[in-house]
Structure 1
Amino acid sequence: MQRVTRDASTSQDGLASLEHTVAIIAKHFPPSVAHLYAVPRKGADGTREWWSELTGQPRQYRELNADEQHALLEIYAQRQDAVTQLANELERRGQGTEASALRRLVGPPNLDNLYSINGYPLLVRWGDPEPRPAPSPAPQIAAPIARRRKWIWLPWFLLPLLLLLALLLALWIGWPYLQRWLNTPQPQHFACVKDPQAQPPEFSVVLDTSGSMQLSVDATLEDEQWFFTLGQEDGADPERLARITRGPIRMDVAKSALSQMVNDLHPAIDMRIVTFDGCRAPIDHGQFSLAQRPALIQGIKGLVANDGTALTASLESAARTMNGRDRDGVIVMFVDGADGCGQNACEVAKRIAREQPRLRVNLVNISNNSLASCIADSTGGRVYSANNALEMAKALQDASQEVSGSANCD
């Protein structure tokens, strides 16, 4: 845990209330949400200090560029939605005191108290009431004075000049956006391998084996947040719990679709598979040739979903084994949410795009959580969304078929 900042005042008013709110947050939320709020502590000299379990260099919001600020506020809004949903659920269950404590956290952030640590938002002084401006006296409204309207006539030859000035102004305002669009990597298409001496594209699959893959393919993002905050407590809504855990579950559909994809893969393509191991180092199961595909399918059938979402580390692990510079490559990531291990997948994807420009990452997103879409956007890949079993199988097939097509020149 690291100290992010400290207050100048030694006043400890309200510290007990803040600690109570921290206990509520830690009780109900996974780390991905709980880490939004810095932990208040009393320093050795009596001042209040704000600490965080996130690792990395804290940067104040105003130090970030426009893109980083936008991305940070998007994640902040996601975390706030989770707090609101929990407050509503606690209110419904008669826990009004805890619900009120959480509702005091909901609202736009004070940007002076907002930090970024590896792309994740951190809010300090979140328990301090925002200063309210003193009400200003009502303005005296003077009686309207009737005035004769004056018309301004411009010579006709000035109109083209005004239009030119308006055009120049529009270009000046819009140039940063136009420049960003021009510099955005455009999707690339693999060329067919006609030269018998040329190597076929490299191919890797990253399969999400986190605990959320045990949920139903029909479960929504809101269902998932509820399940990991309240769904496993005594008194949780049994009907909702049964609905979001009934089959077919995401993991079973993923295994079936992935096994079918292995059978359909072009014979010239070897395939590597990487899976999660909580927030520990991902598991690289190795590369499988055509002759090893039966063993690969058996291994896929034996996978078990459990623990955290190491999306970023798994992406890095797969990319490290691939060329991406003078040989084409495709990574298909089959995931159901954003990174849950405190790493920034968007920054890693940007680095891959710079260092391995011929490596493309396709994303099959089964929870419609847009926080990971930046991986595909940065590398010129595509995002496939899936809301049910049939769509999921089709999305995985579509996301990977281009690598077979690039090697199939018959």
Structure 2
Amino acid sequence: MQRITRDEHATPHGLDALKDKIALILKHFPPSVASVYAIPRIGSGDVVEWWTELGGQPTRFHDLNEDQQAALLERYRQRQETLGLLADELVTRGQPEQAASLRTLIGAPDLNNLYSINGDPVVVRWGLQAQPAVATPAPAPVAAPVVVRRPRRLWPWWLLALLLLLGLLLWALWHWRLPPMNLLPGQSNPVCRASTPQGSELPPEFVVILDTSGSMNLNINATKDDEDWYFKSRPQPEDNDPRTVKIFAPQTRLDVAKTALTGIINNLHPDIDTRLMTFAGCFRQPDHGVFSAAQRPQLIAGIQGLNANEGTPLASSLKKAARQVNGRDRDAVIVMFVDGDDGCNENVCKVAQRIAVEQPRLRVNVVNIGDSSLSNCIAENTGGSIYSSRNASDLANALKHATQAVSECE
């Protein structure tokens, strides 16, 4: 834990209420959401200090370049939308007071009080800046703290209403299932184990989403420029074009994924069952079923026979995978092995935000083998981790970390 700044002009009155708001966020969300708000403490000399559990060097917003500022504000906006969803959910649960408390945190940030720590937004003075010299007696300097403020940027918070519509869509999709597909011919779909004896803790549910979109046929060293050149050029480059030959040469992204996944599956805890889902274009995400420890050889053989083709339905596959696990009364882990952003015109970040509200015990880890970081919001919103590498050995280590919760479960 580290201190960001000391605020000699702030009054310590009301700090407990601020801490209660942070505790409310932590009750429903992973720490990544609550970390937006620095933790107030009373330091030496009764001076208010602002602390954070994030590691890294705090950098003021105005010291960032334009791209860094834009990225920081976008991440702040995503966290704010998540709070709005929670406030709406608390109202439906009959907790309007807590919802109203959260809504006081929603709004554009004071850029003079906004920091970046490794790209994550952190706001200081967030509960006290609306308390200039009031009726509480205080020394003269407190009456007019010298703080340079820039005009606030108002954001279209009415967009939260659209997220409510997304919630209705998710409710409707809950009752819809694609028929399960057999990974191997002649093999019946495995069924999840019955629960363990009453009173004992169930092991985490585990789902692997393996990207089998067409871009997984690219060489492991192919870049985003290579990918855009091939898939967006019109007419499409010829197969004998030297650049085409190079970017489709072995070892492909899918080759590396198969090798890495095989090693991970062999090391899973024996109490963990594995559900495998893949892509088959924007409208189908095959669910190959749940495989017990005894069925892992069949699972591995099936993975080795997979081919890559068509689009990248990240949002749809994440929604479908989330429907297959509990994530409320039982822990669940989803590992998404992907090489880019959603390619089917859906907003995967909003899907992840809804999951964080409805399934707080579901963590989604993202293993990104491509150059794009747009899908990282999935892990950020659900309290998961992000692993990125195009090196085969590094990728195996990344997957090992991404599945640690189901490799070492008790």
Instruction: Give the TM-score normalised by the residue count of structure 1.
Output: 0.53
Q: Is the Cα–Cα contact under 8 Å of residues 231 and 241 in structure 1 kept in the other structure?
A: no
Q: Is the Cα–Cα contact under 8 Å of residues 200 and 269 in structure 1 kept in the other structure?
A: yes
CA distance in 2 between counterparts of 1:357 and 1:171 reads: 36
2:313 to 299, 310, 313: 310
CA distance in 2 between counterparts of 1:374 and 1:226 reads: 26
Shift of 1:381: 0.5
Cα deviation, 1:311-347, whole Å, max 9, x if unaligned, reads: 1111111100100001111100000011111111011
1:214 to 213, 217, 240: 217
2:383 to 369, 380, 387: 380
Cα deviation, 1:171-207, whole Å, max 9, x if unaligned, reads: 9989x9xxxxxxxxxxxxxxxx9x9811011111000
2:263 to 238, 260, 264: 260
Shift of 1:372: 0.7
2:295 partner SS = helix
Shift of 1:270: 0.7
Relative to structure 1, the CA distance from residue 225 to residue 292 in structure 2 (aligned partners, 3 Å threshold; closer, same or farther) is same
2:145 to 159, 166, 176: 166
For 2:297, the equivalent position in structure 1 comes to 294
Q: Is the Cα–Cα contact under 8 Å of residues 231 and 237 in structure 1 kept in the other structure?
A: no
Instruction: Please provide the CA RMSD for this pair.
Output: 3.1
CA distance in 2 between counterparts of 1:220 and 1:166 reads: 51
Q: Is the Cα–Cα contact under 8 Å of residues 217 and 253 in structure 2 kept in the other structure?
A: yes
Unaligned runs of 5+ in 1: 1-65, 72-159, 177-192
For 1:325, the equivalent position in structure 2 comes to 328
CA distance in 2 between counterparts of 1:161 and 1:173 reads: 27
Query: Alignment identity in percent?
Result: 50
For 2:200, the equivalent position in structure 1 comes to 197
Q: For 1:35-54, list aligned pairs within 5 A.
A: none
Unaligned runs of 5+ in 2: 1-72, 79-138, 156-195
Q: Is the Cα–Cα contact under 8 Å of residues 248 and 389 in structure 1 kept in the other structure?
A: no
Q: Whose radius of gyration is greater, 1 or 2?
A: 1
Q: For 1:9-408, list aligned pairs within 5 A.
A: 67=74, 161=140, 165-166=144-145, 197-230=200-233, 233=236, 238-405=241-408, 407-408=409-410
Relative to structure 1, the CA distance from residue 293 to residue 239 in structure 2 (aligned partners, 3 Å threshold; closer, same or farther) is same
Shift of 1:291: 1.0
1:166 partner SS = coil
CA distance in 1 between counterparts of 2:151 and 2:245 reads: 57
Amino acid of the residue matched to residue 145 of structure 2? A
Amino acid of the residue matched to residue 398 of structure 1? H
Relative to structure 1, the CA distance from residue 293 to residue 232 in structure 2 (aligned partners, 3 Å threshold; closer, same or farther) is farther
CA distance in 1 between counterparts of 2:230 and 2:148 reads: 52
CA distance in 1 between counterparts of 2:219 and 2:287 reads: 26
2:209 partner SS = strand
CA distance in 2 between counterparts of 1:398 and 1:304 reads: 26
Cα deviation, 1:67-96, whole Å, max 9, x if unaligned, reads: 59978xxxxxxxxxxxxxxxxxxxxxxxxx
CA distance in 2 between counterparts of 1:234 and 1:256 reads: 29
Length, aligned pairs only: 236
CA distance in 2 between counterparts of 1:383 and 1:328 reads: 19
